[in-house]
Structure 1
């Protein structure tokens, strides 16, 4: 992204969050201009796009509407790891498949168990219902493990760091997770309230822990080299991109 750093705040375009945009628009990373822009959806299904383009979500809808744009069809096949939102053709799924929980998945019917292969379940996703492998009953490919994500969700991952939530976090903490294709990092972090500046210990900042949950991150200076130490990166952790914290790095 083409960004500037001014007064401790990162500026990367016309908006920082969905709240900066008109109703029905979302703050979208425009891959052509390399800037954040307020954009509306331009499609609802692949048929609304020109040839060789598919309709895919470019925002998660966590803080505003799900914005869908026409993007190039990807290169990854069913069952292969993928990027949750479109980043490049190399990390996106072939036409007819959607990226669900980091895996290229076929569409299905929620009320029809037979619409998915054996060992899979049909789940609602950003791009409509998609089949998802229940690794507790079917297992994972060689070199992968069936990793618990939360109380009810499991996923096959090749690279895993951290042992929560199987090992419970302490009182007042949450198991944070970062997923990138078939890799995941899991760590315990204190819960916090972004409306209260003192809800995190000294030297920490309250940032995004999940769609509706906030957790504390170690505060860092993005202008300082190796501000967080090996295995961590200094990045924005709040919706408005104004607060910086240390987060585990995934290559």
Structure 2
């Protein structure tokens, strides 16, 4: 699939040009998607799913927060407590909750990549609590919710790099990690808060991942 736009002006009114994440380190493609309903500072879907989870016109969804655009060469243009952060959709002013705090009912949670974000629901204690040697902190988050857990780093070309009851799956970028093996015929076989889903780009491996439908 080829890109159909390079900037918002290339799309029809009511649509915006966004980079689609492909799950690999390859160059993202750009497509015209409908403008969303989320306001500045509200949580948003990292990938376009629907208008209700996307940002309004003129905003960019960076680190799952709707942000105003900025220029990396002029970071001082962002409000106090915000950082001009680069993104495939272009840089935006990302709020730093360690400086600004969070709305009532939310907590400032640190992410493995170093940034912090306000979340309404948090499960798991890494990376504040370090993972064991050979493990990395995994994250699954969307719309103000986040699940954090430690998983062993693995090599998809070496099946023995995971325990026998685990499978080696994609963990973002070019990284892989071990997931609990599960039965794809029973999506609830992983227990409360988890679901059985594909964890490999070729859809050949099934493992336990946080459930997106958990209330």
TM-score (norm 2): 0.95
1:55-89 CA distances to partner (integer Å, 9 max, x unpaired)? 11222563322111011111111001111111101
Unaligned runs of 5+ in 1: 1-38
Quick check: 2:84–2:93 contact (8 Å CA) kept in 1? yes
Match of 2:63 in 1: 101
Match of 1:198 in 2: 160
Unaligned runs of 5+ in 2: none
**Cα offset for 1:113?**
2.5
SS at match of 2:150: strand
Q: 1:102 to 1:151 in 2, by over 3 A?
A: closer
SS at match of 1:152: coil
Instruction: Provide the alpha-carbon RMSD of the alignment.
Output: 1.3
CA distance in 2, matches of 1:60, 1:201: 28
**Cα offset for 1:197?**
1.1
Number of aligned residues: 213
- Is 2:40 aligned against 1:86? no
SS at match of 1:136: helix
**Cα offset for 1:226?**
2.2
Match of 2:212 in 1: 250
SS at match of 1:246: strand
Match of 1:36 in 2: none
Residue number among 125, 149, 153 corresponding to 2:115 in the alignment: 153
1:151-183 CA distances to partner (integer Å, 9 max, x unpaired)? 521111111100001001111111100011211
The structure 1 segments of at least 4 consecutive aligned residues displaced by more than 4 Å after TM superposition are: none
- Is 2:105 aligned against 1:167? no
